[in-house]
Amino acid sequence: MTFPALFTLIVTLIAAVLLITEKVRPDLAALLVLAALGISGVVTPAETFAGFGGSAVMTIVAISIISEGLRQTGVTRSLGRLMYRMAGASENRQILVAVLTSAALSLVMNNIAAVGVLLPAVMTLARRGKIAPSRLMMPLAYGTVLGGMATLLTTANLIVSAALRDAGHKPFGLLDFLPIGGPIVLVGTLYMLTLGRKLMPQRKGDGDSAPQQLHQALSRLYGLEQNLHEIEVLQISPLAGRTIADGRWAQSTHLHIISITRGERVILAPNAEVTVLAGDRLLAQGHPDPLLLEELGLHQQHGARESLEVTDAGITLAELVITPHGALAGRSLQQVDFRENYTLNVLGIWREGHPIQENLAELKLRVGDALLVQGEAARLQMLQHHPDLVLLEEDPDAARRPRKFNIALIITLATLVLAALDIFPIAVVTFAGAGLLLLTGCMDMNDAYHTIEWKAVFLIAGMWPLSTAIRTTGLADYAIQGLLGAMGDTLPLVVALALILVALLITQIMSSQVAALVLAPLALVAASQVGADPRAMGMAVALGCSLCFPTPFGHPVNIMVMTPGGYAFRDYMRVGLPLTVIVIGVILLGLKVFWGM
């Protein structure tokens, strides 16, 4: 063994120890690997930093930007609500929806793109269901990998198919992977719902810093149930057909309108120019006088409401605190024209440990008062540095740019279609989509910089030169040739198992693409030596290159969910290793049944 190969082996072993024992952060360990290989000269300076410009890293950067654009425009919130309607509050059903949705999406598009689109939606799903993100992030990542094993469109599968064609054999068709990949998806899903669910950790990730179901918690805290009333506008009402301003609702009814339900449409936080129509159902704040309501042709609905519909994708609840040196202390909301100047509804005031709901407009504000407000997320963001108010807490799923919903959705769908067609490199396509989202105002550049998952970038870029070194120093060849030489004459299925295990190992150290490139020609040689079908042996290698479950480095999607899920290296080993064993068993059974090995 040459010195470069030996040095690379030592670095690989040290990196494995650091990652498994978690003595240092994974991203720091990756940077130490990069530095050691670069300083030693095992890889060239260009190869040392090639990972920072690699397609996987650039795709993650672009997808991070696209995901933030979808969040800010409310697309991911809508998708999360749709998933919640399918799954409900049941953790089992939420895991099922996360796995199957990501698996279905990965059938037609790149795994990284699938996770990037679904990750914020699944975070919303977790918050709505009051479930720790660690219970759903791993099913999301694993679901995309499982789905990718059922289609030709996975990168490793395409590489092996191309190797078959170049060697004069029939390449794989689009559905050739389905007979084995389909059962893998079903068995993997069943595992995640049973044993995998028991093995997954129960902890909050960095993406779950805000309280779950924030607006419900604030509603209960401020006692909104006692201060909000449902009012029906009758045909005889003199206020029907007039705007809120013309009808002088606050003065004539002593009520502030929080929302208007008109058929299936809900208008939240209506401004003064919105017209109230006969038949509208209003959610209003205040203490109505029954006699006055009857006189004005308004009917108060009694009985329990199903929910407090005071928020949607663009309208949210938040808490604001009165600052000591601002201009609001000592003045009432009415005196400062709070609703008109800030375009926010004050639903309650928290003072000295208790909520206040009565006479809010006339109440003199004090330093330290907390205001529960309803309004557009974009308006609340503008108060981040306001001298009179401090923004305490806001809904993490609130859309700051809901008017850009359709634009963001169209751009993202077009990006995904182009990525699925594989006409252009996925990194180029996703960057083009991210650029269009920025250009059309779905988000701004500051948001883009803040949303990039730098931990994932440094993890992949830091480990990239190790992948190069293992390949260029001949370390991979030493290992593979030694393995095949030690086996000698044996059954084709046993050789297939050996190649699957080697693919599993190389995938964790390097990547599934590199593993496929290295093993595809060796699979064809092994098939000729044992008299097996080259396509069957190629199938074994291709599927083995997707066995990325035991470590976060097996696939970029594992790294993408690491921070939101709050996962450690050991979590992937605990959940992913049994899944790997099960999937290998399904692969071998499929090779025996469908390929006659």
Q: Is the pLDDT of residue 223 over 80?
A: no
Confidence category of residue 35, pLDDT binned at 50, 70, 90: very high
Phi first, then psi, for residue 544 (nearest 5°) are: -65, -30
Q: Answer whether residue 67 shows pLDDT above 80.
A: no
- CA–chain centroid gap for 383, Å, is 27
With CA atoms as reference, report the closest residue to 501 among 556, 581, 575, 559. Answer: 581
Q: Computed from CA positions of residues 330, 334, 337, 338, in that sequence, does the dihedral angle turn out positive or negative? A: positive
pLDDT at 576 over 90: yes
* β partners of residue 391: 320
Could you tell me which residue, 56 or 390, shows the higher pLDDT?
390
Model pTM score: 0.59
Work out the mean pLDDT of the chain and round it to a whole number: 80
Work out the percent of the chain whose per-residue pLDDT is above 90. 17
pLDDT at 555 over 80: yes
Give the closest residue to 331 by CA, choosing from 374, 361, 352: 361
Residue 82 has what pLDDT? 79
- Whether 345 and 256 have beta carbons less than 8 Å apart is answered as yes
- Alpha carbon distance 17, 241 (integer Å): 73
Tens digits of residue pLDDT in 480-513: 667 666 666 678 898 899 999 988 988 887 667 7
Question: What are 165-210's pLDDT values in tens digits?
Answer: 877 888 887 678 989 999 999 999 999 999 999 999 886 644 444 4
Residue 300 vs residue 187, higher pLDDT: 187
Rounded average pLDDT over 286-309: 74
pLDDT digits (tens, 9 = 90+) for 301-341: 775 454 445 665 557 777 788 877 678 888 888 888 887 78
The pLDDT value recorded for residue 395 is 55
Secondary structure (DSSP) of 76-115 = HHHHHHHHHHHHTT-HHHHHHHHHHHHHHHHTTS-HHHHH
Cα separation, 375 vs 141, whole angstroms = 35
Torsion (CA) 282, 286, 287, 292 in degrees, nearest 10:
-50
Long-range Cβ contact pairs of 268-273 (< 8 A, separation 24 or more):
268/309, 268/310, 268/311, 268/312, 268/314, 268/315, 268/374, 269/315, 269/343, 269/344, 269/345, 269/374, 269/375, 269/376, 270/244, 271/244, 271/343, 272/243, 272/244, 272/245, 272/340, 273/243, 273/244, 273/245
Task: Tell me the one-letter amino acid at 568.
Answer: A
The 8-class DSSP code of residue 596 comes to: -
pLDDT of residue 552: 86
Report the pLDDT value the prediction gives residue 221, as an integer from 0 to 100. Answer: 62
Parallel, antiparallel, or unpaired: how do β-strands 242-243 and 275-276 relate?
A: antiparallel
* CA–CA separation, 571 and 379 (whole Å): 40
Instruction: Quote the pLDDT of residue 560.
Output: 78
What's the confidence (pLDDT) of residue 210? 43
Quick one: pLDDT at residue 307?
47
The closest of 229, 68, 54, 184 to 589, measured between CA atoms, is: 184
Residue 218, pLDDT score: 61
The answer to whether the beta carbons of residues 174 and 131 sit under 8 Å apart is: no
Per the CB < 8 A criterion, the answer to whether 550 and 503 are in contact is: no
Question: Distance of alpha carbon 581 from its chain centroid, rounded?
Answer: 27
Amino acid 332: pLDDT: 87
d(CA 463, CA 510): 8
- With beta carbons less than 8 A apart as the criterion, state whether 63 and 104 touch: no
Tens of pLDDT along 367-423? 878 888 887 766 776 776 677 777 765 555 566 777 888 998 899 888 878 876 767
| Number of other CB atoms surrounding residue 389 within 10 Å | 21
Residue pair 351/369 in contact by the 8 Å Cβ criterion: yes
pLDDT at 300: 85
Q: Is the pLDDT of residue 578 over 90?
A: yes
Q: What is the pLDDT of residue 550?
A: 93
pLDDT of residue 166: 76
Give the residue range(s) of CATH 3.30.70.1450 domains in the chain: 211-395
pLDDT band at 440 (very low <50, low <70, confident <90, very high): very high
- CATH architecture, range 211-395: 2-Layer Sandwich (3.30)
Q: pLDDT: is 124 or 92 the higher one?
A: 92
Average pLDDT over residues 273-283: 87
Task: Report residue 65: phi and psi, to 5°.
Answer: -65, -45
User: In this predicted structure, what is the pLDDT of residue 420?
Assistant: 67
Q: Would the CA dihedral through 496, 500, 506, 511 be positive or negative?
A: positive
Write the DSSP assignment of 236-289 as a string of letters.
Answer: T-TTTTEETTTTTHHHHHSEEEEEEEETTEEEES--TTPEE-TT-EEEEEE---
